[in-house]
Amino acid sequence: MATTTSTTSTATITSLGVGSGLDLDSILTSLEESKEASLLTPITNQETSVNAEISAYGTLTSALTELQTAAEALADSSLYESLTTSLSGSGVTAATTSEAEAGTYTLQVTQLAQAQSLSTDGVASKTTALGTGTLTLQVGTADAVSITLDSSNNTLEGIRTAINASGAGVTASIVNDGSDTPYRLVLTSDSTGTESDMTVTYTGTDSTDEASSLFGYDGSSGNMTQTVEALDAELTLNGISITSQSNTVEDAVQGVTLNLSAVGSSQTLTISQDTDTIYDAISAFVTAYNSYVSSVDTLTAYDADADTAGELMGDSTTRRISTELSSDLYTAIGSGTFSYLSQLGISLEVDGTLLVDEDTLTSAITDNIDAVSEFFIGTDGTSGFIGQMTDDLDNYLDEDSGLIVARTDSLESKLVQLEERYVEKQALIDSEMARWTDEFTQLDTLISSLNSTSDYLTTQFDALNSDD
């Protein structure tokens, strides 16, 4: 019998399953996927659901905010006092305040207000020194402003710049008339009207300097020439003569500002209730409410064919909001001419939306604006229909303690808890996978060693058999 020397070695596993020939990697992957499906997937599904609900509340908040904005416009008492103006001619515009009253006036502008202008004689150069001294300007009864002329500013250009920077209420400019001595300094009062006439005096340090012969005007004469006369605006209003220092005439009619831009023939000024603005504000509220209803319908709908439900279906907060706002629409208001929206031509449809009858609403606004105002804001400005609705909307949308903020904060907290659970479960899976990997590695090593021993023994038996 031949003698054979044998040696065995321990197998080194560099890749799981190599030693045993088993697909241990796939088994581990299947185990991990099974654990994730049972422990992590339910959490991620909940997170998806909560995020969808938070997003849905964002949509609801947006719709309610638009409704709140529209409601606040109706809650503003000045809305029901708004007036509009119209003029039968041109050259005048009018604006009203809350103090204005509706009425009709005959108006004619016969003269526009204008600012006085004075001009110096011409000089040959706008950069030549004209002398040194003190130039004093006064507009009407305002304080006089003195400007020192010296070598730094005593050219025509320098004087212009100094005047414009002085705050004297005068604008200076240089005009070129095309002659041999073309450059003239023109002073124009910043204010129109006869009370803004200018007085100009000059005291030179040298009586022979050129500036002494250029400047000076005492209100009627002087070295300077009046090129534009100061004029007051003149108009008649219902036959009454009115003068104004400017072309902006305030309170000739109480609460009305007239802006004059041209002289013209007699025209009619009509001040009336601004029914269009009031109608538009009410229509905007109806549109915003209908948009809110549409949003709620979408967020709470159930599609039987697709077996899908809106993110807020069955949500108690959404249901409470809908119930309270619907109640606001049904509730009778006060004991005035109008107690229900329907009396204004605003009806509640079967689907929960509002529908405006244009003729009925327009008639109510045009014929009985006081009653419309009383319905929406009450006699005290707060107790009408819109007051209760704005209170409810504020309760829902308050950023600190509102109903929706409380709900979304709760959902955000739930997300945090779900994330914490996810991290815990992931750590558990990682721990188990590490343990299984270690056990599979040991198994792989053991099987590899057994296979090696088996191969060795087989070789030995084959060698014995061959000796025989």
**Tens of pLDDT, residues 201-231:** 999 987 668 999 999 999 889 999 999 999 9
pLDDT at 19 over 60: no
In 301-357, which ranges are continuous DSSP H helix? 316-330
pLDDT at 142 over 70: yes
The pLDDT score that the predictor gives to residue 216 is 95
Cα Rg of the chain (Å, integer) = 46
CA dihedral 429, 432, 438, 439 (to 10 degrees): -130
Per-residue DSSP letter, 342: G
Q: Summarize pLDDT for 293-317 with one digit per residue, the tens.
A: 999 999 999 888 888 888 899 889 9
Higher pLDDT: 106 or 440? It is: 106
**55-64 mean pLDDT:** 94
Question: Rounded to whole angstroms, how far apart are CA atoms 197 and 186?
Answer: 14
Amino acid at 408: T
Q: Where are any strands of DSSP class E within 306-430?
A: 308-309, 346-348, 354-356
Question: Rounded to whole angstroms, how far apart are CA atoms 184 and 356?
Answer: 67
- β-bridge partners, 347: 355
The pLDDT score that the predictor gives to residue 9 is 39
Of residues 334, 337, 332, the one with CA closest to residue 367: 337
Cβ neighbours, 10 Å, residue 63: 21
Q: Are 92 and 106 in contact (CB under 8 A)?
A: no
Complete edge-to-edge strand list for the sheet that includes strand 92-96? 92-96, 256-260, 248-253
Question: Rounded to whole angstroms, how far apart are CA atoms 338 and 372?
Answer: 7
What does the mean pLDDT of the chain come to?
Answer: 89
Per-residue DSSP letter, 340: S
Q: Position of tokens 């710049």? A: 161
Q: Could you give phi then psi for residue 378, rounded to 5 degrees?
A: 75, 175
Q: H/E/C letters for each residue in 194-210?
A: HHHCEEEEEEECCCCCC
Q: Summarize pLDDT for 79-133 with one digit per residue, the tens.
A: 998 889 999 999 999 998 878 888 999 999 999 999 999 999 999 999 999 999 9
Q: Could you give phi then psi for residue 211, rounded to 5 degrees?
A: -60, -30
pLDDT at 401 over 60: yes
Task: Place 40 in a pLDDT band, splitting at 50, 70 and 90.
Answer: confident
pLDDT at 18 over 80: no
Question: Rounded to whole angstroms, how far apart are CA atoms 256 and 270?
Answer: 11
In terms of Cβ atoms closer than 10 Å to its own Cβ (0-12, 13-18, 19+), residue 397 is middle
The pLDDT score that the predictor gives to residue 467 is 62
CA dihedral 403, 409, 412, 417 (to 10 degrees): -120
What are the extents of the domains in the chain?
Answer: 13-82+274-468, 83-113+233-273, 117-228
- Reading the block at residue 212, the tokens are 């002494």
